[in-house]
Amino acid sequence: MVAITRCAHTAGLGFAILATIASFVVSQTGLLWPPGIPVGLVVLALAQIGIHLVFFLHLGSGPDHTNNILALAFGVLIVFLIIAGSLWIMANLNANTMPLPMH
């Protein structure tokens, strides 16, 4: 069990380092078409999140991981609601406030 965990952590560390190096390569070289660089970085960021969830937080698809996955989904939902609600409130305030007088 300990050897499997160490192997998984080592593999996760290797994948995380590769994803980090790849993001630096994408951002600092002309490897991608310039408008595609943000998309490439978002894809690599999502891959990095997946690597951390699987290899370091040990989230899997087994029946014993159901509560962990539901807790993660609930946390993501709450963060999304807070961000979306804040943007909605700021847009509403921007649309409904009077402009400042120019001097």
Query: What is the Rg, in whole angstroms, of the alpha carbon atoms belonging to the chain?
Result: 21
**Per-residue confidence (pLDDT) for residue 39, from 0 to 100:** 95
User: How distant, in Å, are the alpha carbons of 6, 56, 69, 72, 97 from that of 65?
Assistant: 20, 14, 6, 11, 48
What pLDDT, on the 0 to 100 scale, is given for residue 103? Answer: 75
Is residue 53 within 8 Å of 65, Cβ to Cβ? no
| Amino acid 65: pLDDT | 82
Q: How high is the mean pLDDT in each 10-residue block of the chain (103 residues)?
A: 76 95 94 92 95 88 85 94 97 90 81
What pTM does this model have? 0.72
